[in-house]
């Protein structure tokens, strides 16, 4: 029997709407063998997700989606199988979370300047997590009746070049890759098809990127083929995931991308290699 995984999922611990338990229930109902949690800039949800997975007999891969930057472009780097207790990783994640929390105040100030009377407290109450982001602002705008949909909130206010846009501090892609490696994890470029260009990929491979998320719910068949070819040429790992953030147009994305389990085995082998001979520890 073929086994499948979804290695890109969010919960309420970042900007997803499912609790870990709800996510795992959905994973079971769509017949997944393994799932990874990749909340933005946090691993807090991993403990509960791991427990729920154990009860559901689903294999759990801990992870996080780190925000990074390469050549002025925002890049998301998926880290898998890091040691969540790694001190440097923990310190960097706390730094990111503080920046995210402060950014909510800045976004709200910009909205207030546009005569939209929402408060940071209201947004942070909706977020109710350490890694709040623009989707939480969008939900607050919808809840208060200032926008009809989250898409409208992004289009009118929250997107780049819109009135309430506030950039996030980002580490370089190389720093993110090193941070993941020194915590014993594997670094994968998330949804490359959503970036404007592939120009950033060679230098990331040079910096030690372990693989490319070829399968993603927003990749066309052509994009998937293109990145599979690139991964093959670069001799790097292939991963995939739905990037489910909860219900999307009334339906959950979890399980819509079904990664063949052999790729999960490759991913785990790579992490084992790093744990046996840590990278980024200054020994080479
Ligand atoms: P942030 O991390 O605060 O910059 O917010 C980025 C997140 O916003 C992404 O990870 C997506 O989950 C979400 N996002 C981006 N565009 C939209 C949109 N049009 N509607 C809903 N969510 C969006
Ligand atoms: Fe997100
Ligand atoms: Fe992303
Ligand atoms: Zn994501």
- 41 Cα–ligand 3 center, Å: 11
**DSSP one-letter code for 115:** T
Q: Which ligand is nearest to the CA of 135?
A: 1
Spatial CA neighbour of 260 closest among 220, 233, 224: 224
Q: Indicate the average pLDDT of the chain.
A: 95
Residue corresponding to tokens 């080479």? 284
- 238 Cα–ligand 4 center, Å: 16
Ligand 1 atom with minimal separation from the 132 CA: 3
Q: Which of 65, 134, 168, 195 to mutate to test the pocket of ligand 1 (most atoms within 8 A of CB)?
A: 134
Residue corresponding to tokens 């910009």? 110
The H-assigned helical ranges of 57-189 are: 87-113, 120-127, 134-143, 150-153, 173-182
The H-assigned helical ranges of the chain are: 20-29, 46-56, 87-113, 120-127, 134-143, 150-153, 173-182, 201-206, 221-234, 261-276
Q: Residues 158-203: pLDDT tens digits?
A: 999 999 999 987 899 999 999 999 999 999 999 999 987 899 999 9
In the structure, what pLDDT confidence band is assigned to residue 283 with cuts at 50, 70 and 90? very low
What is the mean pLDDT of the segment spanning 134-151?
Answer: 97
Question: Which range (156-160, 222-226, 246-250) has the least confidence?
Answer: 246-250
**CATH numbers and ranges of domains, the chain:** 93-158 (1.10.150.650)
Find how far residue 189's CA is from the centre of its chain: 10
Residue nearest to atom 9 of ligand 1 (CA): 135
Q: How, if at all, do strands 259-260 and 186-189 pair?
A: unpaired
- Spatial contact of 211 and 186, defined as CB atoms under 8 Å apart: yes
Rounded to a whole number of angstroms, the distance between the first and last alpha carbons of the chain is: 42
* Ligand 1 shell residues, CB under 6 Å: 15, 40, 133-135, 138, 150-151, 154, 168, 245
Question: Which range (85-89, 118-122, 222-226, 250-254) has the least confidence?
Answer: 250-254
In the structure, what pLDDT confidence band is assigned to residue 282 with cuts at 50, 70 and 90? very low
The structure tokens listed for 118 are: 């929402």
Q: What is residue 280's predicted lDDT score, i.e. its pLDDT?
A: 59
Q: How, if at all, do strands 34-37 and 73-80 pair?
A: unpaired
Residue nearest to atom 23 of ligand 1 (CA): 135
Residue nearest to atom 3 of ligand 1 (CA): 133
- Spatial contact of 141 and 147, defined as CB atoms under 8 Å apart: yes
Q: What is residue 284's predicted lDDT score, i.e. its pLDDT?
A: 40
Q: Residues 95-134: pLDDT tens digits?
A: 999 999 999 999 999 999 999 999 999 999 999 999 999 9
Say yes or no to pLDDT of 68 above 90.
Answer: yes
Q: What is residue 281's predicted lDDT score, i.e. its pLDDT?
A: 52
Ligand 1 atom with minimal separation from the 134 CA: 3
Say yes or no to pLDDT of 92 above 50.
Answer: yes
């Amino acid at each position: 029997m073929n086994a499948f995984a979804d290695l890109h999922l969010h919960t309420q611990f970042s900007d997803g709407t499912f609790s870990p338990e709800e996510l795992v229930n959905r994973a079971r109902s769509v017949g997944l063998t393994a799932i990874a949690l990749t909340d933005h800039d946090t691993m807090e949800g991993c403990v509960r997700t791991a427990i729920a997975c154990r009860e559901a007999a689903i294999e759990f891969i801990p992870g996080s989606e780190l925000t990074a930057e390469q050549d002025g472009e925002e890049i998301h780097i998926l880290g898998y199988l890091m040691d969540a207790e790694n001190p440097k990783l923990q310190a960097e994640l706390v730094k990111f979370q503080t920046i995210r929390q402060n950014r909510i105040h800045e976004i709200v100030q910009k909205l207030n300047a546009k005569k939209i009377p929402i408060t940071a407290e209201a947004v942070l109450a909706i977020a109710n997590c350490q890694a709040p982001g623009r989707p939480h602002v969008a939900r607050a705008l919808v809840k208060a009746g200032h926008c009809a949909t989250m898409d409208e909130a992004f289009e009118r206010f929250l997107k780049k070049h819109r009135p309430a846009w506030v950039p996030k501090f980002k580490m370089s892609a190389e720093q993110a890759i090193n941070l993941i490696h020194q915590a014993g994890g594997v670094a994968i470029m998330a949804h490359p098809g959503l970036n404007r260009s592939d120009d950033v990929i060679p230098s990331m491979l040079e910096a030690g990127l372990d693989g490319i998320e070829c399968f993603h719910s927003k990749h066309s068949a052509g994009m998937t083929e293109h990145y599979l070819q690139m991964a093959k040429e670069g001799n790097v790992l292939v991963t995939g995931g739905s990037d489910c953030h909860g219900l999307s147009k009334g339906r959950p994305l979890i399980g819509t991308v079904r990664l063949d389990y052999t790729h999960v085995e490759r991913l785990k082998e790579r992490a084992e290699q790093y744990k046996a001979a840590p990278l980024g520890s200054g020994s080479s």
